[in-house]
Structure 1
Amino acid sequence: MSLRSPLSKTEALRALLFRNGMASFVLRALNAVAASSLTILMARYLGPSGYGIYTYALALVILLNVPTQGGLPILLVRETAAALAQSRVDLVYRLWRWATTFTVGLALSVALITLPIAWGFRAHFEPVAFNSFVLALLLVPLIILGNLAGAALRGVHRVLLGQLPEYVLRPALLLLAILAYLWLGRDDMRADVAVGLHTLAAAVALLISVPMLWRARPTTSTARAPEGERPPEWLRSMMPLTLLSAMQVILQYTDLVMLGFFLDSETVGLYRVAAQASLCVGFGLLAVNLIVAPQFARDYARGDRARLQQVTTLSARLVLLLTLPIMLLFLFVAEPIVTLVFGDAYGGSGTALRILAIGQLLNAAFGSVVFLLNMTGHERDTVKGLSIGVVVNALLNLALIPTFGINGAAVATAITLLIWNVLLWQAVRRRLGIDSTALGLRVAA
């Protein structure tokens, strides 16, 4: 019996990881379905101009609030798990209080600074656009607090439950709110109404998430942390994580914000539809990353480079298998797909969708470079690569958007994806001695 025990434990661990990986895949798939449905509804009922205002208001406010969330969710998961491993439940509660206070304080600071400025320039905005911006300022802290609740749940080992607030509850509630609004016979959907419904959905999702966290909270310990313990350390630890998060957010929204600056809201709406549709190409990479990320960490910790290379190559080939057919579909029939799904008004985004689809294929072709670096403790290389990507993306958008419009923004995004993936691919080869692509090329010792 004792001889079979280690094997049984290993098999049980593999089965648990597989079940969690598949369950996470299902949750992300549900999120993708809800997000796609929301994009279609918003695009159809708001029209290109209204959808552009909605998108631009959210993008601008999210960029303003980058410091508010930063790396807090990752920090919350890590420090909660570490404190529980030391039976320091009191420290867990202090961490949660500090994170909540920090988030609310920064969100209020951003609002107090930006609202007077926005009020001073309100004459330059349409009333709908100004209202959308104000409501979005209220929305962002609700989203962030919901994300922190999910991170705390993952920190207490409720991994699947911790994904519900961000990936299931909020998009599902927003979808229900919009459908209910339309079912009531209202045909006056505007951008500010859409942002208001988004804010309502985020508030309800947060109200559901808090009791979930309360029920999953660890029992109180007798030990008490000395006053002032850890906040400075948490703040220092959060800085590189915040920088990494900021780089990702800036890369995601720079093109939208610049389009809104140089062109009209209708153009922003057209580009947003193309950008959202192109994410379908990269869904295979996201799904595979969820499954292989724990394996990367284990193989690296064991020093098993041969196994790490094998898993990396197989996963990269699976990613290409899932990515290539969708990219080819968009490459040949982009306009019919866009007009069928979103309406005739969005037919002008077909070329941008083709360009972005090629960019997503390039992103997938280099494999799981971000996860390989982050799961093996080389997140600084990720930050360097993303930082260069942010600068390149901003310069390319600045150069291409005034002349080429949404197609210029799409080219800027595709080139940026290629450049920073090459940089991270080189970092993986240098740091880990493996090749992240489907080719599995031999790396010189």
Structure 2
Amino acid sequence: MANLSGLFKNINNLPPRVVNSGRVFMLRVFGMALSYAAIIYISNVYGAEAFGRYSLSVTLWQLLILIFSLGIPQAILKITADKNNYEKAPKSNYLSKAAKTLLVSASGCSLALFFLKEWLAISVFNDPKLIFYFKYISLFIILGIFHSFLTEFLRGKQDFIKYGLFVYVLPYLLLLAFMYLFKTSGFQENGTILSFLMAFGLLVIILLFYFPRSRAQKDYPYKKLFALSFPMLFSAAFMFISNWTDIFMLGAMVSKKDVGIYNAAYKLATIALIIINAVNTVLAPKISELYGKNQVGQIANEVQKGTRLIVIFTIPIVGVLIFFRKSLLGFFGGEFVDSGQEVLIVVSLGLLFNALSGSVGQVLNMTQHQKELRNFTIISAIGNALLNYFLIKSFGIIGAAVASLMSNMLLNILCVIFVYKKYKILTIYRFWRIYGN
């Protein structure tokens, strides 16, 4: 009993950063299990081709949310995390101004996609069946944008449990429930994307209850909001494009079956991101808070602790993904194994490099260097697009994986060098410290 009480005492004495990261990690693990259950369900019930359409549509949905949210969700995270702007309640009207801006932008996105759905499906992706997918997205995109806005507000408040539930767990839990409901009701394969969209729509309705109702008298100028959000928009959008250019270019250059196989392998590899995402969820608002207090030295300590935590747990995950790749891909179906295993190896190695580089993007975004991150991501995105074009033509889906690896390494190297030169903060994992200690 003494040992047991000592264990609980040690757990209670853990730093809040570790405790919060652990909680987010557990929610992330559960959420990823649900997301893989959804992928397995779609690929086994409808096949690789249908999963390819679903993957392409979800990627388009995510890109539109990034672009038409104008970087405001990322800005809201930074503003809310700063005690000068939010402490139990907003000290200015930045939230209401952000919401009004997003409503206008999201409405424009919805109308544009609704009228362009046939052109996108037929002329760009050569698949008329995508018309219904894009139609559904146009009807729900407003809710998707507000989901991003409201969850980043929760993250800025450091309400990590609610954030983890609404971002990692509940969307996929509802997705599985809706897919089962639509399947038993006789819906065809496009019921998969409708299930995905309805899950987010329902969550936005619930999230509105957590949105502050009190009105602050102090004005937060639109100019100040956009000066923060627009650079974050470009850096986030180009980072997304750099990471997902392969899906869009594969969608236009190869069969939807190959798109499905590639995306299944890519999604499997992103298990390696589980620790990175958990740590970054907690670390980003902490960096913003410390930067507001001008405690750069403390930022360096927090970042190195985070990097160490990321690397220690990510290396074994990548090892499992590579050595058990055939068995893991077999869950999606036999057609995924032969073509998908090389993709899984290459993408996993790229994500391992991401882990070794540390939370470098969070440091740039939270220390007023979002413009530099934007520039680095533009360089990476252009390089990724060029590499994808030539490598996909020659090597198919493995070419897309190599392009993703190379552009990811370029982006991380540029960011690591800049952060070290600016703050003397080395975000990469320092293996030599193992021997130095």
SS at match of 2:272: coil
Contact 2:269 2:344 in 1 (8 A): yes
Aligned equivalent of 1:219: 214
Report how far residue 91 of structure 1 moved: 1.9
Coordinate RMSD, CA, aligned: 3.3
Which segments of 5 or more consecutive residues in structure 1 lack a partner in the other structure?
1-11
1:60-139 correspondence to structure 2 within 5 Å: 60-64=60-64, 66-79=66-79, 83-84=85-86, 91-92=93-94, 94-111=96-113, 113-115=115-117, 117-118=119-120, 125-126=127-128, 128-139=129-140
CA distance in 1, matches of 2:340, 2:121: 33
What residue number does 1:48 align with?
A: 48
Match of 1:352 in 2: 343
Task: Quote the residue 1:5 is aligned against.
Answer: none
Residue range with higher mean Cα deviation, 422-431 or 376-385: 376-385
Q: Is the 8 A contact 1:366 1:438 kept in 2?
A: yes
Q: CA deviation at 1:323?
A: 1.6
Q: Which runs of 5+ in 2 are unaligned?
A: 1-11
1:372 aligns with 2:363: yes
Equivalent-residue separation in structure 2 for 1:201 and 1:299 (angstroms)? 36
Distance 2:171 2:324 in 1: 32
User: For residue 199 of structure 2, what is the aligned residue in structure 1?
Assistant: 201
Aligned pair count reads 419
Letter of the aligned partner of 1:219 in structure 2?
S
CA contact (8 A) 1:330 1:353 kept: yes
Q: Distance in 2 between matches of 1:250 and 1:122?
A: 17
Aligned equivalents of 2:430, 2:69: Cα separation in 1: 38
Which residue pairs with 2:143 in the alignment? 142
1:8 aligns with none
Measure, in 1, the Cα distance between the counterparts of 2:369 and 2:213.
31
User: In structure 1, what is the Cα distance between the partners aligned to 2:380 and 2:173?
Assistant: 33
Give runs of aligned pairs for residues 203-352 of structure 1, distance below 5 A: 203-213=201-211, 217-220=212-215, 223=217, 230-293=221-284, 296-297=287-288, 308-339=299-330, 341-347=331-337, 348-352=339-343
The structure having more radius of gyration, on CA atoms, is 1
CA deviation vs aligned residue, 1:46-99 (integer Å, no higher than 9, x gap): 211111111123323543554211311122344566554697667256325423
Cα displacement string for residues 211-258 of structure 1 (whole angstroms, at most 9, x for unaligned residues): 343xxx24345x486xxx723443343211111221122123210010
CA distance in 2, matches of 1:173, 1:18: 29
Separation of aligned partners in 2, 1:156 and 1:295: 11
Deviates more, 1:270-279 or 1:296-305: 296-305
TM-score, structure 2 as length reference:
0.84
Partner residue of 2:6?
none
- Helix, strand or coil for the counterpart of 1:281? helix
Instruction: Report the Cα offset of residue 119 of structure 1.
Output: 8.3
The alpha carbon displacement at 1:148 in A equals 1.9
Normalized against structure 1, the TM-score is what?
A: 0.83
- Maintained 8 Å contact 2:311/2:356: yes
Q: 422, 426, 437: which one pairs with 1:431? A: 422
Residues 248-257 or 103-112, more deviating? 103-112
- The answer to whether the 8 Å contact 1:319/1:367 transfers is yes
**Partner residue of 1:7?**
none
Deviation at 1:29, TM superposition (A): 2.7
DSSP 3-state at the match of 2:426: coil
